[in-house]
A and B are shown apart, each in its own frame.
Chain A
Amino acid sequence: MSSNTSNLTCVVIGASHAGVNFAFALRGQGWEGRIMMFDSDPEFPYHRPPLSKKYLTIASQEDTQHDVLFPKENYETDNIILSLGKNVTNINRKTKSIFLSDGSVQRYDKLILATGARAFIPPIKGIENATNIFSIRNAQDAIDIKNAIKDSLRKRVVIIGGGYIGLETAASLKKIGAEVTVLEREERVLSRVTAPEMSVFFTELHSQNNVSILVNKNVVSINSLHAGSEVICDDNTSFKADILIIGVGVKVNTELAEQAGLEIDNGIKVDASGKTSDDDIYSIGDCTYHFNPSYRRFIRLESVQNAVDQAKVAAAAVCGKAATYDTIPWFWSDQYDVKLQMVGLSQGYTETIKRIEPDKEKCMSVWYFKDDKLLAVDAVNNAKAYVLGTRFIQNKQKIDKSKLADVSIPIKPTSFL
């Protein structure tokens, strides 16, 4: 520790993956002062990826205590003060205070914005009057969806949006007996994040599991019926839904930062250590717009990896240590019996190479190149491709594409060099 922190207060707004990992990492770095966390979510901080997966498929009463990020005792041991169910309304940078909706004020010496993002609700005619309409962002959403399915006789679910959240939710709800239709506005699912080969694979996977995926479906209005809704698309097709789920991306929670006059650009703009345009305010996680040295551009990421790794860097920086965030992003998605693992960022690719491993079922990978540079790998039931892809990207290894494309050559550390 470069200076005495015992009289200082670090306030963290947002107690999810980024905020919580930051708080514990800050103690680990030797911060001796107060650590106070605030979150509007009343639920004890939990893992979010299972929201669209496991949480939807287990019985409501089942114990989910193993899904807390850290058990209660850890907060007590590390003296991290959690204030849950509390809304922060604004920040005063001059007096270094945050204001809460219950009228209380909290001073800070260092402030961390881990405010994340919320589901984007598209401006569809009639959406505001729709009943049984949900997005998936927090624990309560998952509980509400499960209850709605349980109470529904016909269990017809329409999911607007064929991204990861939409597809994972489709797979989970199918598992608990729903009849599921996914409406995707673009010409293929996952179009913003993967190559067409992957879109084809996932469309087929869902079809095999009797989930209906329909593309080029631009929803223009929602009519509320006496029970459920009717979803109408611009091609005049319509779909009856007992339950509607919206999964069309997020809106970043930048309001507090904006109101405080911090620099914003597709998220809260931070430097390599997570510091905002105010020396005493840092930001981490989904809400940050940060520079990625490997891809040499500013990015915003919605992922656990980003939340955790950025949190650790910011914790070191707040304690006066030199720290730079430079991690190759990684993600995963579980649908049915398929595990998709992704590493790197494929944006800007000029070529893809697809491998279907001959000796394993549903085992494939898509390798994204920009000329000769490997940018990213999407691996389906293929952990070897994911692990090696990670290594190749990290080490900037040059790959012989003709060998990579030859599936008679098995995936090994040296086989494509």
Chain B
Amino acid sequence: MAKITFVTSDDIKTTVEATTGNIMELAVQNKIKGIDGNCGGVCSCATCHVHVQPEDWSKIGEPSELEKDMLEFDENVSEYSRLSCQIKVSDAIDGIVLKVAN
């Protein structure tokens, strides 16, 4: 079980709980504004871009090369950018806060 907090670009905070799946699916289910996940989670579209808090970065781990390449030239990229479809829900990420990039 993990509690995840999303913060949208208009500063609305939503905390949700999940046990399985990925963060993009969780956001879509909870209608988090700015996370669309149009490609269904295959790292093809960058419509699920989030910024991780620096202190949570080590809990989530590094993006794959493909994901890095998708993000590097994104207009809203930061050093803590991730595509949320590539982050699996697990106990290890309990309590993380994610800022929606778009």
Interface residues of chain A, those whose CB is within 8 Å of chain B, are 24, 28, 47, 49-50, 66-67, 70-71, 73-74, 304-305, 308, 330, 332, 334, 339, 341, 381-384, 386-388, 391, 412-413
Query: Which of A305, A381, A391 sits near B75, CB closer than 8 Å?
Result: A391
SS class, residues of chain A in contact with chain B: helix
Whether B44 contacts A341 by the Cβ 8 Å rule is: yes
Q: Which of B53-76 contact A (CB under 8 A)?
A: 66, 69-70, 72-75
Q: Which residues of B contact A387 (CB under 8 A)?
A: 46, 69-70, 72-74
Cβ-neighbour of B25 out of A66, A332, A334 (below 8 A)? A66
CA distance A382 to B25 in the complex (A): 25
Residue of B nearest to A309 (CB): B38
A384 lies within 8 A of B45 (CB): no
How many cross-chain pairs have Cβ atoms below 8 Å apart between A and B?
56
Does chain A have a CB within 8 A of B95?
A: no
Contacts of B36 in A (CB 8 A): 308
Contact check, A47 vs B75: say whether CB atoms are below 8 A apart.
no
Beyond A49-B39, A66-B21, 9 extra complex contacts between A and B, CB < 8 Å: A70-B28, A305-B45, A308-B36, A332-B39, A339-B44, A339-B66, A384-B72, A388-B73, A412-B73
Closest beta carbon of chain A to B94's beta carbon, Å: 20
Q: Which residues of A contact B43 (CB under 8 A)?
A: 339
Q: List 21 A-B contacts (CB under 8 A).
A: A49-B39, A50-B40, A66-B21, A304-B38, A304-B39, A308-B36, A308-B38, A330-B45, A332-B39, A332-B44, A339-B43, A339-B44, A341-B44, A381-B66, A383-B69, A383-B70, A386-B70, A387-B70, A387-B72, A388-B73, A412-B73
**Cα–Cα, bound, A103→B40 (Å):** 36
Shortest beta-carbon contacts, A-B, top 9 = A383-B69, A332-B44, A47-B40, A383-B70, A387-B73, A384-B69, A388-B73, A308-B38, A71-B29
Contact partners of A304 in chain B: CB under 8 A: 38-40
- Cα–Cα distance between A32 and B77 once the two chains are bound (Å): 37
Q: When each residue 1-40 of chain B gets 1 if its CB lies under 8 Å from chain A and 0 otherwise, what string results?
A: 0000000000000000000010001001101000010111
Which residues from chain B contact A24 at a C-beta distance below 8 Å? Answer: 31
What's the least CB distance linking A23 to chain B, in Å? 13
Report how far A391 CA is from B72 CA in the complex, Å: 13
Instruction: Evaluate contact between B42 and A334: CB separation under 8 angstroms.
Output: yes
Using Cβ atoms and an 8 Å threshold, which residues of chain B touch A339? 42-44, 66
Q: How far is the CA of A74 from the CA of B16 in the complex (A)?
A: 14
Q: Is the CB of B42 within 8 A of A382?
A: no
Residue of A nearest to B72 (CB): A384
Which partner residue on chain A sits nearest B41 by CB separation?
Answer: A66
* Contact present for A383 and B66 (CB under 8 Å): yes
Q: How far is the CB of B72 from chain A (nearest CB, A)?
A: 6
* A188–B39 alpha-carbon span in the complex (Å): 28
Q: How far is the CA of A131 from the CA of B45 in the complex (A)?
A: 38
- Of the listed residues B29, B38, B66, the one surrounded by the most CB atoms of chain A closer than 10 A to its CB is B38
Tell whether, in the assembled complex, residue A28 and residue B31 are in contact, meaning their CB atoms are under 8 Å apart. Answer: yes
Instruction: Please indicate the chain A residues that have their CB under 8 angstroms from the CB of B42 in the complex.
Output: 49, 332, 334, 339
* Cβ contacts under 8 Å, A47 to chain B: 40
- The residue of chain B having its C-beta at the shortest distance from the C-beta of A307 within the complex is B38
A67 and B40 in contact (CB under 8 A), knowing A388-B73, A413-B73?
A: yes
Instruction: Check B45–A332 contact: CB distance below 8 A.
Output: yes
Q: How far is the CA of A330 from the CA of B28 in the complex (A)?
A: 20
Cα-based distance from A377 to B47 in the complex (angstroms): 19
A70-B45 CB under 8 A given contacts A49-B40, A383-B69: no
CB of A130 to closest CB in B, whole Å: 32
Contacts of B45 in A (CB 8 A): 305, 330, 332
What is the chain B residue whose CB lies nearest that of A385? Answer: B69
Instruction: Give Cα A49–Cα B21 distance, bound, in whole angstroms.
Output: 18
Max count, chain B CB within 10 A of own CB: residue among A382, A383, A388, A413: A383
